[in-house]
Every structure is written in C-alpha cells, then in structure tokens.
Structure 1
C-alpha cells in the first residue's frame, strides 16, 4: 500500500481501538483501497471477531447454506467470488457476500487477505465430468496442469531444502554452506521469483481453460500462507472423475508446505439423505490438526423425489421427451424416464425440460433447488435456464455441511438429519405461500 493508503488504514484503526464505529466516508475509502475485497478486511482481525474465509467459484451459495443454515455456524465472515452474474445475484439475495470476478485475475497475496483463515473452492467440473467433453482427462492437458501445480510450491517458497540440489541452489559456491554448517538442509528453498500471473500463464496451452482452475486449489491456500495469513484449512469440490494424479500432486504441494493433513473422498449426495443423486470428489487440507474425510459410515434414510416434492407414489419423470421405442424392450431408447419413487437423477442445466409424465407439468426452479437440498424459498435469480443451471452446478448444502463439519469437528448427523427432515417433511416451513398442485407448484 502507498503511504496515503496506509494512513487511511491507520486512521480507521484508531477508531476501532477506541471501540467506535469507523465513519462511513472512511469505510468507503477502505473499500476503494481493498477492492474488490471488503474494506473491513484491511483492518487486522481481532480475537472474538468472525474468522475470515474466501470462497472461490462460489456459485449461488451451496457451501454457505451448508455452513450457516444446516450447521448453524455463524463464526465466519465469508466472501465469495464467482464469474456468473446470476449466481452472484442469487447468493446476494440469500444474504451471502459475493464479488463478481474471474479468480485467475486476483492476487492471493492482496493486503486485504492477510487475516484469512480458510479457503473454499469449487472449480467448474465439465472438463472432467462425463456430462462434459472431458478434455481434462487428456494426457496433454493433465501434463500442463500438473506441471503448473508443481510450480506453485516453488513460487510460494514451499519447497523443502532437503529436496533441492545443492549445486542448483548455490551454483557459484564450491560447497553448500547449509550442509557444512548443519550437516543437512533445513526449512524452505527461496521463492522462485515467479509471479502468480506467470504461474497461471503456464496453463495457456490447455485446450479448455476451465481445466486450469484446478491449479487455483493450490495457488490460493499456499499464496495466502506465503503472505503470512493464518490460513488453517481448505475445502474443494470437483467431479468424481477427477484423476487421482491431480489429487496426488495437490497433496504433495500441501505436504511440502507442511500442512498437517490432506484427505479426499467421493461422496454421493443421496447417501446423505438428499433427494437427488450427485457424486462428487471432495478434498480437504488442514495445517494444524489431523482430519480425515470419508463417506459416511452409515447413510441417512433415502429421500425419494416424490417424498421431497409431495407427489403421490407411482409418478414418472421424463427427461428427454418422446424417444424411439426399442422393439426388444418396449421402452424408449436412451433411457429418457425414471420413477420418482427413488432419488432424482443428477440435476443439470437440462433439468429445465424435465416433466411429469402423467400430466406434462415441468419442474420449477424452486423444486430443482429442493431436490439438491436448498430451502424452497431460496431466491434463485436470472432466467429459467440460468436458475436450473445454477442448481445443476451447485454444491448441495447438506453435503457441504458434512464436509465442513469434518474440518471443524462438528457432529454433522443430527444437524443434517434435522435440516432434511424439516425440508422434506415440513415443506410449508421453507416455502413462500401455499404449495402448488404437485407439491411446491409445478410449471406447465
């Protein structure tokens, strides 16, 4: 910061030290200095204040709903970043802070982030998912991604000295001074000098730029650590098809930076009582304690789509319109329908075209949200297509709660169970007004 900017921060701190509110004009100056981050984050965190967390590729609010609504945890000051205007509008309408920006243009060592304790990130999954083109599974793209991840630790200054070639570290000397003095290396090698923009530029050869967002899973926590932030934990969500090679390379970078534990698991939303299927890879990393992430030892009771939406038994959902009939089975080719007496198929943006076979009525955005464990009154924003895309991409709040509970040592089961019971059994508590003819109100 410039001297003038530091003066503004110092003046704001003087008000804070006296227990007085920072004047509005001064806060506006802080916001300008900290942009795009909130100006209040330029002021040092004090014991008793909400701990600061950044959420990247944050979407419409699945992680925040899991933390605040399902777990009831309010001790975090969470600011999310997402590129989608509609997703940001949805999150803001639900009370979650959002910055609409491309995370690859932001600096993890920004002065406003020096007191960040946690990072949550959900890179888009079409590059790895069977629902997309799966360019992320191509060997050429994986090579670029993993080479970049390997450079993150070097740029942040977290390569162990005992893993460095002495001749490369001290090429101008006949002998390594650290080996002569200590008998072995200790600590970290110097930072490579590469900027985060230069590290990210290594990804330019990818056939799909979204693949490169996986490198941000290492860039942000290690960049914050390099800047001296009290970063303590990280949580990530990605397609269940994410190669273990990427997970292994990410784990290696965290291990080199002396993070205490990295763990991952593939979680199925329906196993946690959610009324739709959604299988995703979740990864967590912690600096100061041992935390393991694993599928639940005992799954919660199954919630069917019919139960969630208040439908009568026996309903079927058509997902692809009228399809040619297979003469051998008498069923439509392509598997275009399923019974609502089971958890819904995984939602995507195309869910907007699903309809109930009996009467042709289509799902509403509210119902799509309910199927992925959002309250029926959740304020989805944007066009109908955009709202369905958001519910198709989002992290289910109930699953987010399970993952965050593991990190923070919270007994997740009674909280998730109670939340889902209220959501699916007492729907009127979560809805705006009376349900429609099929439950929450189907659109024709």
Structure 2
C-alpha cells in the first residue's frame, strides 16, 4: 500500500490506482476529502503532522506533495525566503534531532510542511520498515530541498533521482513545470522519459525528436482555446490574493491567452453558457478568460466526470493544487519499474 501525504483530491492516487496500486491519502481540507470519498479513494481526514509511519504499518511506499503556496512565485515567497533555514532543518532531521521548536518560528506554518515527507521516511527507516519508494512533488523552486533530501536518503541506502518535469512532455495539455524526487531501495531510481515534445514558442511539431508525440493543445483537450500550444498552468486563488482560481495562470499567462486569441489561434468555447465566462472584448476592455470546473479538470487530466465536491472556488482550488493524474502515472510507473499498459499508452498519447 502507498501512503499519500497531502493527498488533495487524488491526483497522485488516481495515477497510482490505474497502475494497480492501493493508496491511502491523508488530507485535512474537508472539500478535498469529500471529493476523494465520492470517487472511492481511501482517505484519512487530518493533519499529516499528527501521524507517522507507525499509524500505517502496512504502507510500503510513500508519496508527498506538500503545500506549494509558501514557495510559489505567485505567492508571498515566505518559503523561498526561508529556504536556507529549511535546508538546515533537513540536516537536523537527518541527524535525528528534534526540530519542533524551530518549525514554530516560521511566519507561515505551511513552510515547514515540506519537511514532513523526510520525517516520515526517516521514522520508517528507524522502525526497520523503510519505504521501498519515496516520490515527492512540489513547485520548481523547491528543487534544492529535494536535492538535499536526495543526499540524506542516499546516505540511508536509497538510489535517488531529482529533476524538473514539464507536464506537456507527458501528454498533459498544459505547460506546468514541477520539481520531483524519486527514491528507490531496489534498483536505480529514475524519473520518466518524455513521451511528447516539449512546447517551444514558434517550434514546428515533429522537427525535434521523431520518436516523441506532438504536445496536446488546449483546443485538442477541451475543444476551445489555444489551437497551437498547451494551456498554461492552472492557477489557484487564495484568501491572501493571487489569480482568480477559474483563470489559467496569472496576468502574464492571461496576456498570452489574449495574444493567441488575437492572432486567430483560438476556438471559442461552446460549452460554457454564462456569457461572463466567454473570452471576448466587451466595452473596449479585455475581460478575464475563465474556465469551467470541467475544463480545468480536463486540462489537469482528471476524468471529465470526476465528482468534485465543495463550492466552485473549492473545486477549482483542488484542481489547481493537484498533481495531474497522467503525469503522476508516468512518475509512479518509472519509479516502480512498470511499463504503462498498452491501453494507457494510447490514452496518454490521445
């Protein structure tokens, strides 16, 4: 069984269960837990900090995607500002020191949550039941933390691979870049090889690596929007500000969308009935380009009928925070030495 920390609505878990794994997720957001239950995912509603490996002795593998807000370039940057402290605390954990008091010193208590997967991994090692694989994901700025974790886990006997993966290179119709860590106790750890071309502005598909498939455009995925490239990262609004959660990206990303539309590389939405959601000029100004919940979910490669729970804002927040299930499936398969089944390879290429 895999234990998934900060499990959200189940991006990692859907990818893993498609490969035949049993997954239990820990998540404290009630709406995300309701979504998980509605889709049939095993769920513990609670704070990861209140649990440990001893509470899940049957778990053989570990997944973790800590909250990204403190480290995101779209946030206030408290996690990025505290990066040196986080790295020092990782070293303290490696030497089995108690860091509880130090964690209380962060302005944003989510900053220290990035250390929770390391705590779990080390506690499992000390209990004599080390996880066979450890898979972690976060925004790109967290890669130095994953690299520090890699050094610590190698000293504990793991093979570890770290790096940034761009979602469109795995069939996901958006240009989302995230930092990953894959650790294995058996065999050489690896991250998945790309299956699709990486998006590059003005590049002609098929002129790079002939064995890679074309990237999936936003229009290919949902039938409206950009016909020449993937969507930008699905953004998440927060109580502290940030972009509207129903938008694609922030102001710069919206400018890119408007540019695509103005250049004629745009298919109008035919599914959203509310005129306020349609991308258009109104009264001489540019209105915000908005997505329906279903559209945002499809761009994240969730099933179109995924049973999202909570308010519209909470549903979009869950989607924006999640690991795309298709990308998760590639990462889990690579880390565990599995080949994607034929029908899943065809799905990934669609």
TM-score category (smaller protein): 0.7 to 0.9
Instruction: Give matches, 1:408-427, under 5 Å.
Output: 408-412=336-340, 414=342, 416-420=344-348
> Does the CA contact (< 8 Å) of 1:270 and 1:303 recur in 2?
yes
Question: Whole-Å Cα distance in 2 between the matches of residues 287 and 271 of structure 1?
Answer: 27
Aligned match of 2:10: 61
- Is 2:308 aligned against 1:380? yes
Task: Tell me if structure 2 keeps the 8 A contact 1:144–1:205.
Answer: no
- 1:236 aligned residue: 136
Q: 2:24 — aligned with what?
A: 79
- Between the aligned partners of 2:278 and 2:345, the Cα distance in structure 1 is 28
Say which SS state the counterpart of residue 411 (structure 1) adopts: coil
1:288-303 superposed matches below 5 A: 288-293=186-191, 295-296=193-194, 299=197, 300-303=213-216
Post-superposition CA distance 1:147-170 (Å, at most 9, x none): 221122222xxxxxxxxxxxxxxx
The verdict on how the C-alpha distance between 1:415 and 1:202 changes in structure 2, with shifts beyond 3 A counting, is farther
Aligned partners of 2:37 and 2:108: how far apart in 1?
A: 29
Match of 1:352 among 234, 242, 246: 246
Q: Which runs of 5+ in 2 are unaligned?
A: 198-212, 237-243, 249-276, 282-286
Ranges in structure 1 where 5+ consecutive residues have no aligned partner: 1-51, 156-193, 316-338, 423-444
2:193 pairs with 1:281: no
Q: Whose relative contact order is higher, 1 or 2, with alpha carbons under 8 Å and at least 6 apart?
A: 2
1:148 has 2:89 as partner:
yes
Whole-angstrom CA distance in 2 between matches of 1:308 and 1:351: 19
Gap change, CA 1:342 and 1:248, over 3 Å in 2: closer
Is 1:89 the counterpart of 2:17 in the alignment? Answer: no
How far is 1:215 from its partner? 1.0
Aligned-partner Cα distance in 2 for 1:86–1:126: 18
Inter-partner Cα distance in structure 2 for 1:235 and 1:99:
19
- Shift in Å, 1:209: 1.5
- Output one character per residue of 1:262-315: Cα deviation in whole Å (capped at 9) or x when no partner: 11121111121211221101111111211222552753422111121123xxx5
Residues 1:271 and 2:169 are matched in the alignment: yes
SS at match of 1:241: helix
Compute the displacement of 1:413 (Å): 8.4
1:124 matches 2:44: no
- Larger Cα Rg: Structure 1 or Structure 2? 1
TM-score (norm 2): 0.78
Q: 1:420 to 1:255 in 2, by over 3 A?
A: closer
Indicate if the aligned counterparts of 1:90 and 1:381 stay in contact, CA closer than 8 A.
yes
Say if 2:294 is the partner of 1:366. yes
Using the TM superposition, name which of 359-368 and 399-408 deviates more.
359-368
Please give the per-residue CA displacement for 1:51-73, whole angstroms capped at 9, x wherever unaligned.
x211000000101111223xxx2
Q: 214, 219, 223: which is aligned to 1:310?
A: 223
1:404 aligns with 2:332: yes
Question: The residue matched to 1:145 in structure 2 has which SS?
Answer: helix
| Counterpart residue number, 1:135 | 78
Contact 2:150 2:162 in 1 (8 A): no
Structure 2 residue aligned with 1:342 = 229
1:146 and 1:92, CA in 2 relative to 1: closer, same or farther beyond 3 A?
same
Cα distance in structure 2, aligned partners of 1:238 and 1:77: 22
Asked if the contact 1:80–1:98 (Cα under 8 Å) also holds between the matched residues in 2, the reply is yes
Shift of 1:106: 1.6
CA distance, structure 2, for counterparts of residue 205 and residue 146 of structure 1 = 15
SS at structure 1 position matched to 2:146: helix
CA RMSD of aligned residues (A): 2.2
**1:326-356 deviations in Å (ceiling 9; x for gaps):** xxxxxxxxxxxxx454211111122425743
Inter-partner Cα distance in structure 1 for 2:135 and 2:247: 33
Pick which of 361-370 and 291-300 moved more.
Answer: 291-300
Whether the 8 Å contact between 2:170 and 2:195 is mirrored in structure 1 is: no
Q: For each residue in 1:67-107, what CA deviation from the matched residue of structure 2 results, as whole angstroms up to 9, or x when unmatched?
A: 223xxx22x33110011111111111111111111111223
Q: 1:310 to 1:243 in 2, by over 3 A?
A: closer
| Residue 249 of structure 1: aligned partner | 148
